[in-house]
Amino acid sequence: MLSVQNTDAPVTFTPELLGKFAEIVARYPEGKQKSALLPILHLVQAEFGWVSAPAMDKVAEYLNIQPIEVYEVATFYTMYFLKPQGKYMLEVCRTGPCEIVGATPIMEHIEKTLGVKEGDVTPDGLFSWRGVECLAACGYGPVLQIGPEYTFYENLTTESVDKLISDLKGKANN
Amino acid sequence: MGRKLLLEHINVPGINTFDVYRSKGGYASVEKALKTLSPDDVVEEVKKSGLRGRGGAGFPTGMKWSFLAKPEGVPRYLVCNGDESEPGTFKDRYLMTHIPHLLIEGMIVASYALGANTSYIYLRGEMMPQIRILERAIAEAKNAGFLGNNILGTGYDLELYVQPGGGAYICGEETALLESLEGKRGNPRIKPPFPAIAGLYGCPTVVNNVESIAAVVPIINHGGDEYAKIGIGRSTGTKLISAGGNLKRPGVYEIELGVTVEDFIYGDDYCQGIANGKRLKAVVAGGSSVPILPANLILKTINNEARLMTYESLSDGGFATGTMLGSGGFIAYDEDQCIVRNTWNFARFYHHESCGQCSPCREGTGWMEKVLHRLEFGHGKMSDMDLLVDVSKKIEGNTICPLGDAAAWPVASAIRHFRDEFEWHVTNPSVAITSNYGLAHYADPLPVLEKAEA
């Protein structure tokens, strides 16, 4: 089940990141800074690759709310990674419309190509993958997305997935 | 080809930029509304247009606006619902990606009508690219004096922000969306009070779908009466339909409400028929929540009349033989698709997305998924179909929000119309794993259009 994972790695928010936090908090009325929680967690995940317990504690401190208020949000929403993932997390839509145009064979192909099960990380730390629910791109299925930019790859075939994986490997090694 | 009110300029190069959008008449509705109409006039035009909420429920938008409480000294909010998570639906993503200023323009006019000075566009978190697109468009509009303080010198102030969600279907429900916007778990609130009285931060709030807000632009430009001339009966105007599944040409289409379902599936202006020369088996017409119908019932009503793409015609026959327009997420299934597998897939989706607040939904969706899983994978029993219907009935109507109904309807309708396919899975478990039941008698009554296609 979902749980908050601790880590010994120290968490520091750079001044640049804190600047982005402040920009977000300014969008809401005085005293309603908790509204910034979801956007800030996205920024934290983009920076560190996942949201650890110490990071969540620091977010709580920043927003002047209780840590549990951050944990309950991070564990409710599916986009927040509660443990480290590969540098590239391939999230394949597995819901009805994508399924009937071949999402399952795409996921099987990714599993075979990467050699890791859903949710696991490749030994080189580059990739993980998982099936996710409807991504609102049903006319272009099968689709996958890769965070933190959430770039979309549409009308997937095994060939286009192979090319994507090799492109990402090339990008990471440069 | 019908009139295009939302996507008229979608193919103009650079229409995503302020300058090109403006050169095509963009932001005219803001000038018209802020300079010549009172907020109440704008609400009146939207009422006259007959516009119904495009997110799925189909509630009249003008009426929703008129319910907004206006206590002295309390801020009011407009929140745009861009959570778009209903399987089969991808029209809002399309609109925001290609013509973001249409949404911004609609937000300004709608905020003015409601007296909101801060408005939020809530997008599902997966739409980060669209968030970047909208934020750039907002900056452009602000730079041109259409947002910020004293817009166009009229004294009206508006700030507009885009808020990402965190990945949760439930946040498409308006009170769950508001909880999420307040930085909490997306648990729907008990109503009443409705958001019109106590919404965001406890203040009066209107929540509208992306497409509904975009539709305000042509309504103000042409007038509510003109808008209402398009369509049939209480289904006025144009609607974006997301067409997916086994169609030759899937995509987003703007239709005049009232085209026939047959024309939409087979017509050259629309989806051009079923892909790969196959035949149509079934359709989910309005997003995964609405009842699935076999081909013969989607093309013609039980009274043998052509079924139209309108709120009324699609629901003709009630749930016994009809369905709903919903969000316009139109999914076509060809003869090779397995209804049991699809129903299991949807049940898994709803189980995954149930927020867990109400027991009937939290537990019931899980049981439906389990029973459907065993049917699909060859361990089903003849009593399972009645069991599923029983569970679905115990969820339906017994939950705080409509997710329970949304989970129950696809299961109940699949068994209602495709019971023999479920039974075949029980009697032929090993065959059912490797092959499909096929078209059976759900046959698409239309001859397959024989085109020169190998």
Are A63 and A37 contained in the same domain? Answer: yes
Q: Does one domain contain both A68 and A104?
A: no
Q: Which residues of chain A does B346 touch, with a Cβ-Cβ cutoff of 8 Å?
A: 95-96
Interchain proximity A76–B186, CB inside 8 Å:
yes
Other Cβ atoms closer than 10 A to B223: 14
For residues A71 and A110, membership in a common domain is answered with no
Rounded distance between C-alpha atoms, residue A50 and residue A47, angstroms: 8
> Where does a domain end: A54, A76, A98?
A76
Tokens found for residue B453: 């296609």
- Asked if B349's CB is within 8 angstroms of A95's CB, the reply is yes
Cβ separation of B90 and A136 shorter than 8 Å?
A: yes
| Predicted local distance difference test score (pLDDT) of residue B5 | 97
The reply to whether A26 touches chain B by the CB within 8 Å rule is no
CA distance A77 to chain B (A): 5
| pLDDT of B366 over the 80 cut | yes
Are residues A72 and A103 both part of a single domain? no
Query: Domains in chain B, start-ordered, CATH in brackets?
Result: 18-229 (3.40.50.11540), 233-334 (3.10.20.600), 340-434 (1.20.1440.230)
Taking CB atoms and an 8 Å limit, are B250 and A139 in contact across chains? yes
**Does a structural domain hold residue A156?**
yes
Would you say residue A1 has pLDDT above 60?
Answer: no
Per-residue pLDDT band at B439 (split at 50, 70, 90): confident
> What is the spatial distance between Cα B396 and Cα B319, in angstroms, rounded to a whole number?
13
- CATH number of the domain encompassing residue A70: 1.10.10
Looking at the structure, tell me whether residues A64 and A117 fall in a common domain.
no
How confident is residue B434, by pLDDT bands cut at 50, 70 and 90? confident
Q: Which domain holds residue A113?
A: 88-173
Kindly state whether residues A67 and A100 are assigned to the same domain. Answer: no
Q: Mean per-residue pLDDT for B250-264?
A: 97
**Residues B72/B214, Cβ–Cβ less than 8 Å:** no
CA–CA min distance A28, chain B (Å): 9
Residue A173 confidence (pLDDT)? 85
Which of these three, A41, A76, A111, is where a domain ends? A76
Q: Which residue has the higher pLDDT, B71 or B435?
A: B71
Q: What is the pLDDT of residue B450?
A: 45
Q: Are A79 and B201 a contacting pair at CB < 8 A?
A: no
Best B79, B86, B117, B128 residue to mutate vs chain A (most A CBs within 10 Å): B128
Predicted local distance difference test score (pLDDT) of residue B452: 42
- Nearest to A41, CA basis, from B194, B63, B312, A65: A65
Interface test with B, best of A34, A77, A104, A146 (most B CBs within 10 A): A77
Output the pLDDT for position B209.
98
Q: Do B251 and A42 touch (CB under 8 A)?
A: no
Instruction: Evaluate if residue B437 carries a pLDDT over 50.
Output: yes
Are residues A72 and A148 located together in one domain of the fold?
Answer: no
Q: Which residue of A has its CA nearest to B121?
A: A27
- A36 chain-B contacts, CB cut-off 8 A: 183
Domain membership flag for residue A83: no
The band of A8, judged by pLDDT with boundaries at 50, 70 and 90, is low
Under the banding of pLDDT at 50, 70 and 90, the label for residue B2 is confident
A96/B345 Cβ within 8 A: yes
User: Least CA distance to A43: which residue of chain B?
Assistant: B164
Q: With contact defined as beta carbons under 8 Å apart, do B80 and B122 qualify?
A: yes
Is the Cβ pair B183, A100 closer than 8 Å?
Answer: no
Q: Report which secondary-structure segment, H or E, holds A69.
A: helix A67-76
Candidates A32, A76, A133; nearest CB to B169 = A133
Q: How far apart are CA B80 and CA B104, in angstroms?
A: 10
Considering the domain architecture, whether residues A92 and A167 belong to the same structural domain is answered as: yes
A164, part of any domain: yes
* A95 in the same domain as A169: yes
Answer yes or no: do A73 and B183 touch at CB < 8 A: yes
Of A76, A97, A123, which closes a domain? A76
For residues B391, B394, B396, B402, the Cα torsion angle rounded to the nearest 10 degrees is -90
Chain A nearest-CA residue for B161: A27
pLDDT digits (tens, 9 = 90+) for B328-359: 999 999 999 999 999 999 999 999 999 999 99
State the pLDDT at residue A2.
55
Chain B nearest-CA distance from A169, in A, is 23
Cross-chain Cβ contact B183/A34 below 8 Å? yes
Whichever domain contains A141, its CATH number is 3.40.30.10
Which residues on neighbouring strands pair with residue B205, listed in sequence order? B77
Mean pLDDT of chain B: 95
Residues B171, B176, B180, B182, CA torsion sign: positive
Spatial separation of the C-alpha atoms in residues B420 and B440, rounded to whole Å: 9
Is the CB of A61 inside 8 Å of chain B's CB atoms? no
Predicted confidence (pLDDT) at residue B449 exceeds the cutoff of 70: no
What's the token pair of residue B25?
């008449």
The string of pLDDT tens digits covering residues B28-68 is 999 999 999 999 999 999 999 999 999 998 999 999 999 99
Percent of chain B predicted with pLDDT > 90: 93
User: B234 pLDDT exceeds 90?
Assistant: yes
**Domains identified in chain A, total number:** 2
Give the ipTM: 0.95
> Could you give phi then psi for residue A131, rounded to 5 degrees?
-85, 140
Residue A34 has pLDDT above 90, yes or no: yes
Q: Are B283 and B242 in contact (CB under 8 A)?
A: no
With respect to residue A153, please indicate whether it lies within any of the assigned structural domains: yes
- State whether A92 and A163 are in the same domain: yes
- Cβ–Cβ gap B243/A139 under 8 Å: yes
Task: Assess if residue A4 is contained within a domain.
Answer: no
Please check the confidence at residue A9 and state whether its pLDDT lies above 80.
no
Residue A118 lies in a domain: yes
Chain B partners of A39 at a C-beta cutoff of 8 Å? Answer: 163-164
Surface-to-core class of residue B443, CB atoms within 10 Å of its CB (0-12 exposed, 13-18 middle, 19+ buried): middle
Three-state secondary-structure class, residue B188 = coil
* Nearest residue to A43 via CA among A57, A28, A55, A30: A55
User: Is A53 within a domain?
Assistant: yes
Q: Do A137 and B90 touch (CB under 8 A)?
A: yes
From the CB of residue A77, how many other CB atoms can be counted at a distance below 10 Å?
A: 20
pLDDT at B447 over 50: no
Is the pLDDT at B393 greater than 70, yes or no? yes
Are A36 and B331 inside 8 Å of each other by CB?
A: no
Whether A58 and A99 map to the same domain: the answer is no
Mean predicted confidence (pLDDT) in B243-263:
97
Q: Is position A3 within any domain?
A: no
Nearest-angstrom CA–CA distance, A107 and A158? 9
Q: Does residue B254 have a pLDDT over 60?
A: yes
Is residue A123 located within the same domain as residue A145? yes
pLDDT tens digits along A101-143:
999 999 999 999 999 999 999 999 999 999 999 999 999 999 9
The residue among B92, B122, B131, B184 with the most chain A CBs within 10 A of its CB, best to mutate, is B184
